[in-house]
Amino acid sequence: IKKIAVMTSGGDAPGMNAAIRSVVRTCAYYRTDCMGIYRGYQGLIEGDLIPLTARSVNNIIHKGGTILKSARSKDFRTKEGRQKAYESLKKNNVDALVVIGGDGSFTGGVIFNKEFNFPIIGIPGTIDNDISGTSHTLGYDTALNTAVEAIDKIRDTASSHNRLFFVEVMGRDAGFIALNAGVGAGAEEILIPEEDLGLERMLESLKKSRRSGKSSSIVVVSEGDKTGKNVFELADYVEENLPEYEVRVSVLGHMQRGGSPSCFDRVLASRLGVSAVELLLDGKTNLMVGLKDNKVIATDLEKAIKGQHNIDTELLRVSDIMTT
Ligand code: ATP
Protein backbone atom coordinates (compact mmCIF):
# COMPACT_ATOMS: atom_id res chain seq x y z
CA ILE A 1 0.00 0.00 0.00
CA LYS A 2 1.56 3.25 -1.16
CA LYS A 3 -1.24 5.74 -0.75
CA ILE A 4 -4.09 5.98 1.79
CA ALA A 5 -7.08 8.33 1.62
CA VAL A 6 -9.10 9.52 4.59
CA MET A 7 -12.65 10.93 4.74
CA THR A 8 -15.27 11.95 7.27
CA SER A 9 -18.83 10.85 6.50
CA GLY A 10 -22.32 11.11 8.01
CA GLY A 11 -22.93 13.31 11.06
CA ASP A 12 -19.89 15.23 12.27
CA ALA A 13 -18.48 14.75 15.76
CA PRO A 14 -15.81 16.46 17.88
CA GLY A 15 -12.54 14.56 17.55
CA MET A 16 -12.86 13.95 13.81
CA ASN A 17 -10.11 16.48 13.11
CA ALA A 18 -7.85 14.84 15.66
CA ALA A 19 -8.48 11.53 13.87
CA ILE A 20 -7.70 13.04 10.44
CA ARG A 21 -4.50 14.46 11.90
CA SER A 22 -3.56 11.08 13.31
CA VAL A 23 -4.17 9.22 10.04
CA VAL A 24 -2.16 11.80 8.07
CA ARG A 25 0.76 11.87 10.51
CA THR A 26 0.88 8.08 10.80
CA CYS A 27 1.05 7.86 7.01
CA ALA A 28 3.91 10.37 7.06
CA TYR A 29 5.66 8.39 9.79
CA TYR A 30 5.54 5.25 7.62
CA ARG A 31 6.45 7.22 4.47
CA THR A 32 3.12 6.43 2.88
CA ASP A 33 1.34 9.06 0.80
CA CYS A 34 -1.96 10.38 2.11
CA MET A 35 -4.92 12.17 0.56
CA GLY A 36 -7.95 13.81 2.10
CA ILE A 37 -11.36 13.36 0.53
CA TYR A 38 -13.74 16.29 0.95
CA ARG A 39 -17.46 15.76 1.74
CA GLY A 40 -17.39 12.00 2.35
CA TYR A 41 -18.54 9.62 -0.37
CA GLN A 42 -20.11 12.44 -2.39
CA GLY A 43 -16.78 14.26 -2.63
CA LEU A 44 -15.10 11.00 -3.59
CA ILE A 45 -17.57 10.47 -6.43
CA GLU A 46 -16.94 14.03 -7.61
CA GLY A 47 -13.15 13.62 -7.39
CA ASP A 48 -12.71 16.17 -4.61
CA LEU A 49 -9.40 14.92 -3.18
CA ILE A 50 -6.27 16.74 -2.00
CA PRO A 51 -2.82 15.53 -1.02
CA LEU A 52 -2.16 15.88 2.72
CA THR A 53 1.23 16.04 4.38
CA ALA A 54 2.13 16.03 8.06
CA ARG A 55 2.09 19.84 7.92
CA SER A 56 -1.38 20.05 6.35
CA VAL A 57 -2.89 19.03 9.67
CA ASN A 58 -1.12 21.54 11.92
CA ASN A 59 -3.35 23.24 14.46
CA ILE A 60 -6.48 21.14 14.11
CA ILE A 61 -6.30 18.71 17.04
CA HIS A 62 -8.41 21.05 19.18
CA LYS A 63 -10.98 22.00 16.56
CA GLY A 64 -14.56 20.73 16.45
CA GLY A 65 -16.28 19.75 13.19
CA THR A 66 -14.19 18.35 10.35
CA ILE A 67 -11.80 20.21 8.07
CA LEU A 68 -12.63 17.67 5.34
CA LYS A 69 -16.36 18.47 5.65
CA SER A 70 -18.95 15.74 5.80
CA ALA A 71 -21.94 14.80 3.66
CA ARG A 72 -24.65 12.28 3.08
CA SER A 73 -24.45 10.87 -0.43
CA LYS A 74 -27.45 9.45 -2.28
CA ASP A 75 -25.23 8.63 -5.28
CA PHE A 76 -23.04 6.30 -3.25
CA ARG A 77 -26.10 4.14 -2.62
CA THR A 78 -26.16 3.31 -6.33
CA LYS A 79 -23.83 0.99 -8.22
CA GLU A 80 -23.02 3.75 -10.73
CA GLY A 81 -22.09 6.11 -7.92
CA ARG A 82 -19.79 3.58 -6.32
CA GLN A 83 -18.20 2.85 -9.74
CA LYS A 84 -17.39 6.57 -10.05
CA ALA A 85 -15.98 6.55 -6.52
CA TYR A 86 -13.73 3.63 -7.45
CA GLU A 87 -12.51 5.36 -10.60
CA SER A 88 -11.75 8.45 -8.57
CA LEU A 89 -9.58 6.43 -6.19
CA LYS A 90 -7.77 4.70 -9.07
CA LYS A 91 -7.19 8.00 -10.85
CA ASN A 92 -5.48 9.33 -7.74
CA ASN A 93 -3.55 6.08 -7.18
CA VAL A 94 -5.17 5.54 -3.80
CA ASP A 95 -4.77 1.96 -2.51
CA ALA A 96 -6.79 2.05 0.71
CA LEU A 97 -9.43 4.04 2.54
CA VAL A 98 -9.97 5.17 6.14
CA VAL A 99 -13.60 6.15 6.77
CA ILE A 100 -14.38 8.15 9.90
CA GLY A 101 -18.14 7.97 10.45
CA GLY A 102 -21.11 6.05 11.77
CA ASP A 103 -22.78 2.76 10.88
CA GLY A 104 -24.27 4.13 7.63
CA SER A 105 -20.80 5.10 6.43
CA PHE A 106 -19.49 1.66 7.39
CA THR A 107 -22.38 -0.06 5.57
CA GLY A 108 -21.44 1.85 2.41
CA GLY A 109 -17.79 0.89 2.99
CA VAL A 110 -18.58 -2.81 3.33
CA ILE A 111 -20.62 -2.80 0.11
CA PHE A 112 -17.83 -0.92 -1.69
CA ASN A 113 -15.24 -3.38 -0.42
CA LYS A 114 -17.28 -6.35 -1.64
CA GLU A 115 -17.77 -4.84 -5.10
CA PHE A 116 -14.24 -3.63 -5.75
CA ASN A 117 -12.16 -5.56 -3.21
CA PHE A 118 -10.88 -2.20 -1.98
CA PRO A 119 -9.13 -2.15 1.45
CA ILE A 120 -11.05 -0.13 4.01
CA ILE A 121 -10.86 0.52 7.76
CA GLY A 122 -13.48 2.37 9.80
CA ILE A 123 -13.00 4.76 12.73
CA PRO A 124 -16.23 5.22 14.73
CA GLY A 125 -17.13 8.91 14.91
CA THR A 126 -20.52 9.88 16.32
CA ILE A 127 -21.64 11.55 19.52
CA ASP A 128 -24.35 8.91 20.02
CA ASN A 129 -21.98 6.09 21.06
CA ASP A 130 -24.34 3.66 19.32
CA ILE A 131 -21.74 1.49 17.60
CA SER A 132 -20.77 -1.95 18.78
CA GLY A 133 -17.11 -2.97 18.99
CA THR A 134 -16.03 0.07 20.99
CA SER A 135 -16.83 1.34 24.45
CA HIS A 136 -16.51 4.92 23.19
CA THR A 137 -17.08 6.48 19.77
CA LEU A 138 -15.24 9.69 18.85
CA GLY A 139 -17.17 12.72 20.04
CA TYR A 140 -19.24 10.97 22.67
CA ASP A 141 -17.16 12.11 25.62
CA THR A 142 -17.13 15.70 24.38
CA ALA A 143 -20.89 15.69 23.82
CA LEU A 144 -21.40 14.32 27.33
CA ASN A 145 -19.33 17.10 28.82
CA THR A 146 -21.16 19.70 26.76
CA ALA A 147 -24.50 18.33 27.93
CA VAL A 148 -23.45 18.28 31.59
CA GLU A 149 -22.15 21.84 31.39
CA ALA A 150 -25.43 23.00 29.86
CA ILE A 151 -27.53 21.15 32.44
CA ASP A 152 -25.45 22.71 35.24
CA LYS A 153 -26.43 26.12 33.90
CA ILE A 154 -30.07 25.15 33.66
CA ARG A 155 -29.88 23.92 37.24
CA ASP A 156 -28.85 27.43 38.38
CA THR A 157 -31.98 28.98 36.95
CA ALA A 158 -34.17 26.02 37.97
CA SER A 159 -33.16 26.39 41.59
CA SER A 160 -33.51 30.19 41.62
CA HIS A 161 -37.11 29.89 40.47
CA ASN A 162 -38.08 26.58 42.08
CA ARG A 163 -38.77 25.11 38.69
CA LEU A 164 -38.78 21.67 37.16
CA PHE A 165 -36.84 21.48 33.90
CA PHE A 166 -37.17 18.86 31.22
CA VAL A 167 -33.92 18.81 29.28
CA GLU A 168 -33.78 16.91 26.01
CA VAL A 169 -30.40 15.59 24.94
CA MET A 170 -29.29 13.90 21.70
CA GLY A 171 -28.47 10.23 21.22
CA ARG A 172 -30.93 9.06 18.57
CA ASP A 173 -32.12 5.56 19.57
CA ALA A 174 -29.49 5.21 22.29
CA GLY A 175 -29.58 6.59 25.82
CA PHE A 176 -25.82 6.87 26.45
CA ILE A 177 -25.72 10.64 26.54
CA ALA A 178 -28.94 10.92 28.58
CA LEU A 179 -27.98 8.32 31.16
CA ASN A 180 -24.42 9.47 31.73
CA ALA A 181 -25.10 13.20 31.52
CA GLY A 182 -28.12 12.64 33.78
CA VAL A 183 -26.06 10.97 36.47
CA GLY A 184 -23.21 13.44 36.00
CA ALA A 185 -25.50 16.44 36.33
CA GLY A 186 -27.50 14.95 39.20
CA ALA A 187 -30.84 14.67 37.39
CA GLU A 188 -33.94 13.64 39.32
CA GLU A 189 -35.14 11.33 36.57
CA ILE A 190 -33.60 10.05 33.34
CA LEU A 191 -35.72 8.83 30.44
CA ILE A 192 -33.89 6.60 27.97
CA PRO A 193 -35.07 4.48 25.02
CA GLU A 194 -33.61 1.28 26.48
CA GLU A 195 -35.76 1.25 29.59
CA ASP A 196 -39.23 2.74 29.71
CA LEU A 197 -40.12 2.82 33.37
CA GLY A 198 -43.50 4.41 32.69
CA LEU A 199 -44.89 7.86 33.34
CA GLU A 200 -46.51 6.89 36.65
CA ARG A 201 -43.14 6.15 38.08
CA MET A 202 -41.85 9.55 37.03
CA LEU A 203 -44.81 11.30 38.67
CA GLU A 204 -44.29 9.30 41.87
CA SER A 205 -40.63 10.12 41.93
CA LEU A 206 -41.26 13.84 41.39
CA LYS A 207 -43.91 13.85 44.12
CA LYS A 208 -41.52 12.12 46.48
CA SER A 209 -38.81 14.60 45.70
CA ARG A 210 -41.10 17.56 46.50
CA ARG A 211 -42.15 15.92 49.76
CA SER A 212 -38.52 15.40 50.71
CA GLY A 213 -37.94 19.14 50.50
CA LYS A 214 -36.45 19.58 47.04
CA SER A 215 -37.68 22.73 45.39
CA SER A 216 -36.25 22.31 41.90
CA SER A 217 -35.49 19.35 39.72
CA ILE A 218 -34.07 18.32 36.38
CA VAL A 219 -35.41 15.48 34.24
CA VAL A 220 -33.09 14.45 31.43
CA VAL A 221 -34.89 13.03 28.39
CA SER A 222 -33.17 11.20 25.57
CA GLU A 223 -34.46 12.26 22.15
CA GLY A 224 -35.34 8.62 21.41
CA ASP A 225 -37.14 7.85 24.67
CA LYS A 226 -40.07 5.46 24.51
CA THR A 227 -42.69 7.21 26.64
CA GLY A 228 -44.64 8.04 23.48
CA LYS A 229 -44.59 11.74 24.35
CA ASN A 230 -42.14 14.34 23.17
CA VAL A 231 -40.40 16.52 25.73
CA PHE A 232 -43.02 19.31 25.48
CA GLU A 233 -45.89 16.85 25.92
CA LEU A 234 -44.08 15.35 28.88
CA ALA A 235 -43.83 18.78 30.47
CA ASP A 236 -47.57 19.40 29.90
CA TYR A 237 -48.39 16.00 31.34
CA VAL A 238 -46.47 16.71 34.53
CA GLU A 239 -47.99 20.18 34.90
CA GLU A 240 -51.49 18.69 34.54
CA ASN A 241 -50.84 15.95 37.06
CA LEU A 242 -48.62 17.82 39.50
CA PRO A 243 -49.90 21.41 39.60
CA GLU A 244 -47.43 22.21 42.36
CA TYR A 245 -44.68 22.16 39.74
CA GLU A 246 -43.81 25.01 37.41
CA VAL A 247 -42.32 23.27 34.40
CA ARG A 248 -39.97 24.47 31.67
CA VAL A 249 -38.38 22.73 28.71
CA SER A 250 -34.92 23.04 27.20
CA VAL A 251 -33.82 21.19 24.07
CA LEU A 252 -30.03 21.24 23.91
CA GLY A 253 -29.87 20.37 20.20
CA HIS A 254 -26.90 20.74 17.90
CA MET A 255 -24.64 22.48 20.39
CA GLN A 256 -23.93 18.92 21.54
CA ARG A 257 -22.33 18.11 18.19
CA GLY A 258 -19.87 20.98 18.19
CA GLY A 259 -17.06 22.41 20.23
CA SER A 260 -13.47 21.62 20.99
CA PRO A 261 -12.97 17.89 21.62
CA SER A 262 -12.24 16.75 25.17
CA CYS A 263 -8.79 15.42 26.00
CA PHE A 264 -10.29 11.92 26.06
CA ASP A 265 -11.58 12.28 22.49
CA ARG A 266 -8.28 13.70 21.26
CA VAL A 267 -6.31 10.82 22.77
CA LEU A 268 -8.81 8.28 21.45
CA ALA A 269 -8.69 9.83 17.96
CA SER A 270 -4.89 9.75 17.97
CA ARG A 271 -4.81 6.10 19.02
CA LEU A 272 -7.48 4.96 16.54
CA GLY A 273 -5.85 6.81 13.63
CA VAL A 274 -2.49 5.13 14.26
CA SER A 275 -4.13 1.73 14.49
CA ALA A 276 -6.22 2.22 11.33
CA VAL A 277 -3.16 3.04 9.21
CA GLU A 278 -1.02 0.29 10.75
CA LEU A 279 -3.74 -2.29 10.04
CA LEU A 280 -3.96 -1.23 6.39
CA LEU A 281 -0.17 -1.31 6.01
CA ASP A 282 -0.31 -4.78 7.54
CA GLY A 283 -2.63 -5.92 4.74
CA LYS A 284 -5.81 -5.93 6.85
CA THR A 285 -9.18 -4.70 5.66
CA ASN A 286 -12.89 -4.56 6.58
CA LEU A 287 -12.22 -3.75 10.20
CA MET A 288 -13.32 -1.06 12.59
CA VAL A 289 -10.87 0.13 15.22
CA GLY A 290 -12.29 0.79 18.66
CA LEU A 291 -11.62 0.75 22.36
CA LYS A 292 -12.24 -2.09 24.80
CA ASP A 293 -10.98 -2.10 28.38
CA ASN A 294 -8.85 0.87 27.35
CA LYS A 295 -7.05 -1.17 24.69
CA VAL A 296 -7.36 -0.48 20.97
CA ILE A 297 -9.02 -3.44 19.27
CA ALA A 298 -10.23 -4.23 15.75
CA THR A 299 -13.70 -5.61 15.04
CA ASP A 300 -15.04 -7.02 11.79
CA LEU A 301 -16.76 -4.07 10.12
CA GLU A 302 -19.97 -6.01 9.47
CA LYS A 303 -20.12 -7.18 13.07
CA ALA A 304 -19.65 -3.60 14.24
CA ILE A 305 -22.60 -2.51 12.09
CA LYS A 306 -24.93 -5.34 13.06
CA GLY A 307 -23.91 -5.74 16.70
CA GLN A 308 -25.68 -4.08 19.60
CA HIS A 309 -23.90 -1.69 21.89
CA ASN A 310 -25.82 -2.27 25.07
CA ILE A 311 -26.13 0.38 27.69
CA ASP A 312 -25.26 -0.35 31.30
CA THR A 313 -28.61 0.16 33.02
CA GLU A 314 -26.86 -0.30 36.37
CA LEU A 315 -26.42 3.46 36.15
CA LEU A 316 -30.20 3.87 36.45
CA ARG A 317 -29.96 2.23 39.87
CA VAL A 318 -27.14 4.58 40.84
CA SER A 319 -29.26 7.50 39.71
CA ASP A 320 -32.17 6.21 41.78
CA ILE A 321 -30.06 5.98 44.91
CA MET A 322 -28.66 9.47 44.32
CA THR A 323 -32.14 10.99 44.28
CA THR A 324 -32.98 9.72 47.78
P1 ATP B 1 -24.35 9.22 11.75
O2 ATP B 1 -24.42 8.04 12.70
O3 ATP B 1 -23.72 10.38 12.34
O4 ATP B 1 -25.64 9.51 11.03
P5 ATP B 1 -23.63 7.64 9.52
O6 ATP B 1 -22.31 7.24 8.95
O7 ATP B 1 -24.47 6.52 10.07
O8 ATP B 1 -23.34 8.75 10.58
P9 ATP B 1 -25.40 7.96 7.26
O10 ATP B 1 -26.01 9.17 6.66
O11 ATP B 1 -26.29 6.85 7.68
O12 ATP B 1 -24.48 8.46 8.44
O13 ATP B 1 -24.38 7.35 6.20
C14 ATP B 1 -23.40 8.17 5.58
C15 ATP B 1 -23.31 7.84 4.11
O16 ATP B 1 -22.91 6.48 3.93
C17 ATP B 1 -24.62 7.94 3.35
O18 ATP B 1 -24.93 9.27 3.00
C19 ATP B 1 -24.33 7.08 2.12
O20 ATP B 1 -23.59 7.79 1.17
C21 ATP B 1 -23.46 5.98 2.71
N22 ATP B 1 -24.32 4.81 2.96
C23 ATP B 1 -25.11 4.56 4.01
N24 ATP B 1 -25.79 3.41 3.86
C25 ATP B 1 -25.43 2.92 2.65
C26 ATP B 1 -25.79 1.77 1.88
N27 ATP B 1 -26.66 0.89 2.34
N28 ATP B 1 -25.21 1.62 0.67
C29 ATP B 1 -24.31 2.50 0.21
N30 ATP B 1 -23.94 3.61 0.87
C31 ATP B 1 -24.49 3.82 2.07
Q: What is the pLDDT of residue 244?
A: 87
pLDDT at 161: 82
Q: Which residues line ligand 1 (CB under 6 A)?
A: 9-11, 41, 72-73, 76-77, 101-105, 107-108, 111, 126
Active site residue 128: yes
Nearest-CA residue for ligand 1 atom 23 is: 104
> What is the reported pLDDT for 307?
92
> What's the start-to-end Cα distance of the chain, in Å?
59
72 is in an annotated binding site: yes
Q: Is 126 flagged in the annotation as binding? A: yes
Residue 88 has a pLDDT of 98
148 annotated as a binding-site residue: no
Condensed to tens digits (0 to 9), the pLDDT of residues 265-301 reads 999 999 999 999 999 999 999 999 999 999 999 999 9
Q: Is the pLDDT of residue 216 over 80?
A: no
Name the closest-CA residue to atom 31, ligand 1: 108
Q: Whose CA is nearest to atom 22 of ligand 1?
A: 108
Above 90 in pLDDT, residue 212? no
CA dist., res. 70 & res. 123, Å (int): 14
Q: Is the pLDDT of residue 248 over 90?
A: yes
Catalytic residue of the set 12, 33, 128, 130? 128
Report the chain's mean pLDDT, rounded to a whole number: 95
| DSSP class of 63 | -
The Cα 148–Cα 143 span in angstroms is 9
Sheet holding 246-251, edge to edge: 189-191, 217-222, 163-169, 246-251
Question: Which pLDDT score is estimated for 162?
Answer: 81
Closest-lying ligand 1 atom to the alpha carbon of residue 12 = 3
Work out the pLDDT band at 252, boundaries 50, 70, 90.
very high
pLDDT tens digit sequence for 84-129: 999 999 999 999 999 999 999 999 999 999 999 999 999 999 999 9
Q: What is the pTM of this model?
A: 0.96
Which of 65, 92, 83, 94 has the alpha carbon at shortest distance from 3? Answer: 94
